[in-house]
Structure 1
Amino acid sequence: MPNFLPINTILVPQGAEYKAVCRGLSGVTGSIPTVVAIPLGMKPLLKYLQQSQGNGQFLAPSRVVIMGICGSLSDRYTVGDIVLYQDCVYSGKRQECDRTFTAQLHSYISGKVSLVKSLTSDRMICSASEKRHLGETLAADVVDMEGFTALEFFNAAGVDVAMLRVVSDDCQHDIPDLTSAINSDGSLNPFPLAMGMLRQPLAATRLIRGSLKSLKVLEQVTNRLFSGYSLK
């Protein structure tokens, strides 16, 4: 592992993504960064980060890696691909990941990861046609629901951020609209989640398969990234 400044914290959306990262770290010996489960969505995440800042977390100088899964907006990226963000756009605004930190991570896992531009959305992008349209019009490669908020917050606080994710759904197929299953606190509501899946069984099956594959890759890349790495 290159001689990084200490990576203090891994932030990862709560639920299956958080569990995958924890599994990836379970066999790592020595000290590892703190893993923090964050809420889903822009507003819940901002509220959480503001409260955490008030409690003295995430103080500069420090380095934070945000991990998880994302959706593809381009034919170039498909399920299971590992991507490292250069920046995130939202509503005509752009926030950059820390260039030095990102370059160091990229050189360490080069050949296994692609540098991408990301779109952050305040809702799930479900239809394949909308994914491709957004990718073309905004020149974005992938989409998530937290990236821009996290970058805006940490850039203002002087905290170096890199964002490493795994693609869980491609831009060739629809996925179920599960936006209504996300509670106002950023947690998932099981009943609307199940109903959303049942309404579109084929899309749901494809989403589940893609999620399982991407979560396994997320676990593997976490282990590979932090094996042998200890905070100094």
Structure 2
Amino acid sequence: MPNFLPINTILVPQGAEYKAVCRAFRGVIGSIPTVVAIPVGMKPLLKYLHTSQGNGQFLAPKSRVLIMGICGSLSDRYKVGDIVLYQDCVYQDKQQECDRTFTAQLHSSISDKASLVKSMTSDRLIWSAGEKRRLGETLAADVVDMEGFTALEFFNAAGVSVAMLRVVSDDCQHNIPDLTSAINSDGSLNPLPLAIGMLRQPLAATRLIRGSLTALKVLEQITNRLFSGYSLK
């Protein structure tokens, strides 16, 4: 990676997203960012960050944190596999901005691949295509996730520079399975409710699996491209 773009830590939702980012660093030699798995959802993430703050993690002076993962589209403009860089993130009537300089440097590195977007964070899974389109129109947001606003609010208050890079895994034209019951209170996934939710909506489940696999592959590829300067291969 070019020297003008130092990144201390990459935060990625635990599970498949974390594994995809880690795969991108296989065979890399030398100093690389610390890749940390974070829980899914606003409340579990906030609890995790406060615990990490007590341990002195992430909050070194002038540190830069990159948040990566997948997201859902709220607009016809963004399809499965599209790479997006957040400019800001809203939750209800509040807004937090990503670090402009950090984001601009990332964008200049991958501008032919990534779109600058406005995002929203939800405290619950948005599975309905109709609700996605309504939220996109009402809030003028392009994509949705379940962690972005919480992370921005925490790190902005601490004076840590944050950028967010995600890949779209589901569009706003089709429903995905309602997997709300599969997300535990600690932000982990419960396999049994997850399997039941997928079996109840097989077509939506198939679409979600295909979209997720596409997005995870792109996530791995863009991570490798972005951090290829670290590799001596």
Q: Same fold (TM over 0.5)?
A: yes
Secondary structure, aligned partner of 2:165: strand
Displacement of 1:122 in angstroms is: 0.5
- Matching of residues 166-205 of structure 1 within 5 Å: 166-205=167-206
- Structure 1 stretches of 4+ with a deviation exceeding 2 A read 1-6, 27-30
- Matching of residues 1-232 of structure 1 within 5 Å: 1-4=1-4, 6-59=6-59, 60-229=61-230
Return the letter of the residue paired with 2:34: T
**CA deviation digits over 1:176-212, x for unaligned, max 9?**
0111111111000000000110111000000000000
Displacement of 1:229 in angstroms is: 3.2
Secondary structure, aligned partner of 1:228: helix
Assess if the C-alpha contact under 8 Å between 2:117 and 2:142 holds in 1. Answer: yes
Tell me, in whole angstroms, the C-alpha distance in 2 between the residues paired with 1:65 and 1:162. Answer: 5
Assess if the C-alpha contact under 8 Å between 1:30 and 1:228 holds in 2. Answer: no
**CA deviation digits over 1:146-172, x for unaligned, max 9?**
000000000000000000000000000
The number of aligned residues is 230
Assess if the C-alpha contact under 8 Å between 2:5 and 2:105 holds in 1. Answer: no
Assess if the C-alpha contact under 8 Å between 1:5 and 1:63 holds in 2. Answer: no
**CA deviation digits over 1:104-141, x for unaligned, max 9?**
00001111000000010001111111100100110000
Assess if the C-alpha contact under 8 Å between 1:183 and 1:189 holds in 2. Answer: yes
Tell me, in whole angstroms, the C-alpha distance in 2 between the residues paired with 1:67 and 1:118. Answer: 14
Assess if the C-alpha contact under 8 Å between 1:88 and 1:95 holds in 2. Answer: yes
Assess if the C-alpha contact under 8 Å between 2:71 and 2:170 holds in 1. Answer: yes
Secondary structure, aligned partner of 2:95: strand
Assess if the C-alpha contact under 8 Å between 1:28 and 1:228 holds in 2. Answer: no
Tell me, in whole angstroms, the C-alpha distance in 2 between the residues paired with 1:89 and 1:4. Answer: 29
Return the letter of the residue paired with 2:153: E
Return the letter of the residue paired with 1:118: S
Return the letter of the residue paired with 2:44: P
Displacement of 1:6 in angstroms is: 2.8
Tell me, in whole angstroms, the C-alpha distance in 1 between the residues paired with 2:78 and 2:27. Answer: 29
Displacement of 1:5 in angstroms is: 5.3
Secondary structure, aligned partner of 2:229: coil
Secondary structure, aligned partner of 1:165: strand
Secondary structure, aligned partner of 2:32: coil
Assess if the C-alpha contact under 8 Å between 2:121 and 2:146 holds in 1. Answer: yes
Tell me, in whole angstroms, the C-alpha distance in 2 between the residues paired with 1:110 and 1:126. Answer: 30
Moved more, 141-150 or 59-68: 59-68
Q: Which runs of 5+ in 2 are unaligned?
A: none
TM-score after normalising by structure 2: 0.97
Q: Percent identity?
A: 87
Return the letter of the residue paired with 2:218: V
Structure 2 CA distance for partners of 1:5 and 1:112, relative to 1, 3 Å = closer
Tell me, in whole angstroms, the C-alpha distance in 2 between the residues paired with 1:126 and 1:30. Answer: 41
Return the letter of the residue paired with 1:86: Q
Displacement of 1:91 in angstroms is: 1.0
TM-score after normalising by structure 1: 0.97
Q: CA RMSD for the aligned pairs?
A: 1.0
Return the letter of the residue paired with 1:96: E
